[in-house]
Structure 1
Amino acid sequence: MYTRLMPTPLPAPYFVAASGPAAALVGLDVEALAQEAFVAAFTGNTLLPGSEPLAAVYSGHQFGVWAGQLGDGRAILLGELDGPEGRMELQLKGAGKTPYSRMGDGRAVLRSSIREFLCSEAMAALGIPTTRALVVTGSNQRVMRENIETAAVVTRMAPSFVRFGSFEHWHYRDKPEELKTLADYVIDGFYPDLRGAANPYKELLAEVTRRTARMIAHWQSVGFMHGVMNTDNMSILGLTLDYGPFGFMEAFDVNHICNHTDQGGRYSYANQVAIGHWNCYALGNALLPLIGTVDEAQEALDVYMPAFEAKLDELLHAKLGLTTVLDGDRALFDSLFTIMQASHVDFTLLFRQLGDLQADAPKDQPELHDAPLRDLFIDRAAFDEWALRYRERLRAESSVDAERRAAMNRVNPKYVLRNYLAQQAIEQAQNGDYAGVRDLLAVLEHPFDEQPGKEHFAALPPDWAAHLEVSCSS
């Protein structure tokens, strides 16, 4: 299941940033994380008391192709901590070579470590199931990617880092005892209520499938794109795992591909729902020897689309400030995304500003009442037509503008981790100034608040940001 080994130290490690909310989950003082002893421990230069580090083995499908054995090629698990909300595993990403590094150097670079750190905490603040990031440390040791960069380590946290590919590994090696051992470990540790089921392995597949579907519904509702939904990047707990070439939708394009490496668009925004289902099938195939029959596995997998659709419907009702459910709501949602697509409207700005629409505004002269919203659309007439239908729907439930606006602002973020914001913070950090990372983190920890003086973090991306590309290189 794993290999015990020590992290490889980095020379002269330094502190970049730490997350207060993540520290609270494991009972740590966020201010203390900047101290030399913690920096050394969370870089892999010294061990925390009681730590017995290890790297786990797993396999997986990458871009739909069986890749064989993979594993923690640069991640090393330090151990578990009991916190106020339960146990959390602490894992160093970028801590050096392991037996599973293949051709890799076992390192992460400052650029990718900052991106993972910021996005993990941004997603948590948005209420989306995710692994967490405790702290980022860096070193001036050089690392070669497309260019020479410097090394960094991000400390990640989750109740478990077991992946779909962890099960695939033992299935494809025809190791039924190891497969059962792993499944029993996951059930007993994280799904104990399933132990009493007639077929606990079938119920495990069903629950993981359900959680995965709901997680992806959350992604779709905020315009988040993972970028590399390989089975080795899928959490058995339904958490967003492994932040590489991710992106938040800006100019809406349902076929947008956030990963420059993904030339075929397998992991586009439009495809995430189907790929999530495909990955659950891969997990079901791995668990089949334990479940028993194909029919039973299929029954477990059949929960995916109902769970996804129910969660997305719930989220979209909230995003549009609707407190009741009527027959025409799905058509109203679909038509909104259609006009968003036609005008490539900024995803985050639209939903945030939609809360300002007045339900009882006169039908004539919409430019006097909906100017900020209308100006987001190239085809303003299409928005005017949709807004008429939306107002009728609001009046059908006697919506009160002030109450609805407050409710919508609690679910439609003003601030998300736009690529250009991350890039600005990264470039500042690469020049030795980490204040940009910390300032951006502070904003992202409260994505629904107005935050006076921070409005520039919610601005449309500048022209130069159109040329930003993210890939699997990290």
Structure 2
Amino acid sequence: MQAMFHRPDLPTADLAWLNSSEKGFASLGEAFATPTEPTPLPAAHWVGCNDALRGALGLPTDLWEQQEALELFSGNRLTANQPIYASVYSGHQFGQWAGQLGDGRALNLGAIHTPEGLQEFQLKGAGPTPYSRRGDGRAVLRSSIREFLASEAMHGLGIPTTRALCVTGSPAHVRREEIETAAVVTRVAPSFVRFGHFEHFASNGQIEELRALADHVVTAHFPELQEKQGADRYVALLHEVTQLTAALMAQWQAVGFCHGVMNTDNMSVIGLTLDYGPFQYLDGFDANHICNHSDHQGRYAYARQPQIAYWNLFCLGQALMPLIEEQAPALAALESYKQSFPEAMDQRMRDKLGLTGAHEGDRALAEALLQALQKDHVDYTVFWRRLSVAVRESAQSAQAFEPVRDLFMHREVFDAWCIRYLDRLGPANRQSTGDAMLRTNPKYILRNHLGELAIRQAKTGNFAMVQDLWQVLHAPFDEHPTYEAWAGLAPEWASSIEISCSS
């Protein structure tokens, strides 16, 4: 693939915080990182700014007042001392081998040292790259706002994720299903390496590049594995990625998060939630819910996500086989998922239910609850929050569970389950148990209709709801009296919102 090089007329940003010789992933060379210039956007402006992340990264307090920063994050300037590049990867999409893919609309600004450790910065939507596959390399305001909010929502929930530092917008037109305006998200993560990076070099027989990539990931993210030699190192790497993926899937399932497009090129090797496209948090509980309008076969339905992650891990394992060689240790590393995911899921459900210790019937109790929620399509987030409050108040009130019962059409089913549940809770201190549950079960999630309302306002040039939503989602377990309505049931029109891969 022919590299694209910087144009001499694109101005250079000389921001002090970017003055770093650390290249991160780019240090692997042009087989991995293709120098690529951004394509400028006219009349750039701020849409959303993540000041909490700015502070955590140790970036200047006046960052949002710096015109140079606005231009840099819009793709209108180059960095002074950092390589700007797009990376190549391949992958399986919807279960089929898709061949070479790559950063079709993402440009990496390089890495800097921060109080959070080494962090990679990436512009999503800054124009075409050598891997755009005839695309324009742009992102639209709609999808950029969704990713900005979703990243912070997941972080607020304590779920590993890439972060979004800011969104910038422009009146420039972009054609998707209709004409929309352009935007750029600045994403931040310790690494953007995907399963698909390994698949790319394995599929092309580039074994030395495959080894270099694996060694880079070990050195940068799993330093405790460096003492291992030969195949043992790569088996251990596969095992660690398997464990991180199992833990991530349990967190997704517990909070009711649907990713929508779990292709291998959208899976992070360090266990982050990566690439927010047609995602959704469940409203009414439906284990078979498909959030991606483009997923006609339901491959990525909510209940199938853990199994799909396991399938994707096997693709990663296959890609690592040239380094591992023997099948048995690779299979053992992958098979650990079968124990790790159920154990992680059981613990997540115990936490949500306020249960201490591990009892033999806990999984059956949780499964019976999910069946009851499924039967009446009870709102998932509202149920857990009301249950938490009910447990806290049940020591003082015999009517504490009435607001929970009100969510069910088949109240007798809930009543029967509740008897089992309270028996399992036993003589626990209900006040402290309920308080712990309130710190586990969020009050606020990024519901589709809230994102849609923020997007509609933003299209008129009003970004207030974007910033207000960010503020609430940053602390989703807290009370936000001004925004109490955002914690309520989704309106009927929310079910008509369609999200697809272009979202």
TM class, shorter-chain normalised? over 0.9
Amino acid at match of 2:480: Q
TM (normalized to structure 2)?
0.91
> 2:351: which partner in 1?
318
> 1:409: which partner in 2?
438
Indicate how the Cα distance of structure 1 residues 31 and 434 shifts in structure 2: closer, same or farther if over 3 A, else same: farther
Q: Which segment is superposed worse, 349-358 or 272-281?
A: 349-358
> 2:460: which partner in 1?
431
> 1:107: which partner in 2?
138
Give distance in 1, aligned partners of 2:449 and 2:323. 46
> 1:80: which partner in 2?
111
CA contact (8 A) 1:359 1:399 kept: no
Residues 321-367 of structure 1, C-alpha deviations (whole Å, 9 max, x = no match): 112221111111110001000010001011111112348969xx98x
Amino acid at match of 1:410: R
Give distance in 1, aligned partners of 2:407 and 2:385. 12
Q: Where does 1:130-141 land on structure 2 (aligned, <5 Å)?
A: 130-141=161-172
- Which among 202, 205, 222 is matched to residue 174 of structure 1? 205
CA contact (8 A) 1:248 1:419 kept: yes
Residues 52-92 of structure 1, C-alpha deviations (whole Å, 9 max, x = no match): 20000000000000000000011000011111120100000
- The answer as to 2:493 corresponding to 1:469 is no
Give distance in 1, aligned partners of 2:126 and 2:497. 28
Give distance in 2, aligned partners of 1:463 and 1:336. 24
Q: Which segment is superposed worse, 104-113 or 48-57?
A: 48-57
Aligned to 2:343, the other structure's residue is in SS state helix
Indicate how the Cα distance of structure 1 residues 124 and 369 shifts in structure 2: closer, same or farther if over 3 A, else same: closer
Aligned to 2:315, the other structure's residue is in SS state helix
> 1:339: which partner in 2?
372
> 1:372: which partner in 2?
403
- Which among 44, 49, 56 is matched to residue 13 of structure 1? 44
> 2:26: which partner in 1?
none
Once the 2 structures are TM-superposed, how far is the Cα of residue 314 of structure 1 from its aligned partner?
A: 1.3
Residues 16-73 of structure 1, C-alpha deviations (whole Å, 9 max, x = no match): 1111222123211465225322110101101233122000000000000000000001
- Which among 159, 162, 186 is matched to residue 217 of structure 2? 186
Residues 158-186 of structure 1, C-alpha deviations (whole Å, 9 max, x = no match): 11111000000011111111111111111
> 1:90: which partner in 2?
121
CA contact (8 A) 1:53 1:77 kept: yes
- Which among 456, 471, 481 is matched to residue 442 of structure 1? 471
- Which among 420, 429, 433 is matched to residue 449 of structure 2? 420
CA contact (8 A) 1:18 1:30 kept: no
- The answer as to 2:247 corresponding to 1:218 is no
Once the 2 structures are TM-superposed, how far is the Cα of residue 369 of structure 1 from its aligned partner?
A: 4.0
CA contact (8 A) 1:353 1:373 kept: yes
TM (normalized to structure 1)?
0.97
Give distance in 1, aligned partners of 2:281 and 2:227. 41
Amino acid at match of 2:287: V
Runs of at least 5 residues in structure 1 that lack an aligned partner in the other structure: none
Q: Where does 1:229-240 land on structure 2 (aligned, <5 Å)?
A: 229-240=262-273
Runs of at least 5 residues in structure 2 that lack an aligned partner in the other structure: 1-31
Once the 2 structures are TM-superposed, how far is the Cα of residue 118 of structure 1 from its aligned partner?
A: 0.4
Give distance in 1, aligned partners of 2:404 and 2:102. 47
Give distance in 2, aligned partners of 1:326 and 1:473. 45
Q: Which segment is superposed worse, 308-317 or 58-67?
A: 308-317
Amino acid at match of 1:146: E
Give distance in 2, aligned partners of 1:409 and 1:451. 14
Give distance in 1, aligned partners of 2:208 and 2:82. 28
Once the 2 structures are TM-superposed, how far is the Cα of residue 132 of structure 1 from its aligned partner?
A: 0.6
**Seq. identity, %:** 53
- The answer as to 2:483 corresponding to 1:454 is yes
- The answer as to 2:322 corresponding to 1:286 is no
Aligned to 1:78, the other structure's residue is in SS state strand
- The answer as to 2:274 corresponding to 1:241 is yes
> 2:55: which partner in 1?
24
CA contact (8 A) 1:359 1:391 kept: no
- The answer as to 2:310 corresponding to 1:277 is yes
Give distance in 1, aligned partners of 2:394 and 2:169. 54
- The answer as to 2:75 corresponding to 1:44 is yes
Amino acid at match of 1:321: G
> 1:66: which partner in 2?
97
CA contact (8 A) 1:26 1:81 kept: no
Amino acid at match of 1:245: P
Residues 235-262 of structure 1, C-alpha deviations (whole Å, 9 max, x = no match): 1111000000000011000000000000
Give distance in 1, aligned partners of 2:105 and 2:394. 57
> 1:143: which partner in 2?
174
Q: Where does 1:248-259 land on structure 2 (aligned, <5 Å)?
A: 248-259=281-292
Give distance in 1, aligned partners of 2:451 and 2:260. 16
Aligned to 1:267, the other structure's residue is in SS state coil
Give distance in 2, aligned partners of 1:31 and 1:424. 29
Aligned to 1:238, the other structure's residue is in SS state coil
Give distance in 2, aligned partners of 1:455 and 1:125. 17
Give distance in 2, aligned partners of 1:427 and 1:187. 44
Once the 2 structures are TM-superposed, how far is the Cα of residue 376 of structure 1 from its aligned partner?
A: 0.6
Equivalent pairs, count? 469
CA contact (8 A) 1:19 1:30 kept: no
Indicate how the Cα distance of structure 1 residues 54 and 385 shifts in structure 2: closer, same or farther if over 3 A, else same: same
Amino acid at match of 1:2: A
- The answer as to 2:187 corresponding to 1:156 is yes
Give distance in 1, aligned partners of 2:141 and 2:265. 23
Indicate how the Cα distance of structure 1 residues 34 and 422 shifts in structure 2: closer, same or farther if over 3 A, else same: farther
CA contact (8 A) 2:392 2:435 kept: no
Aligned to 1:80, the other structure's residue is in SS state strand
Aligned to 2:160, the other structure's residue is in SS state coil
Aligned to 1:453, the other structure's residue is in SS state helix
Task: Output the aligned Cα RMSD.
Answer: 1.5
Aligned to 2:46, the other structure's residue is in SS state strand
Give distance in 2, aligned partners of 1:2 and 1:351. 45
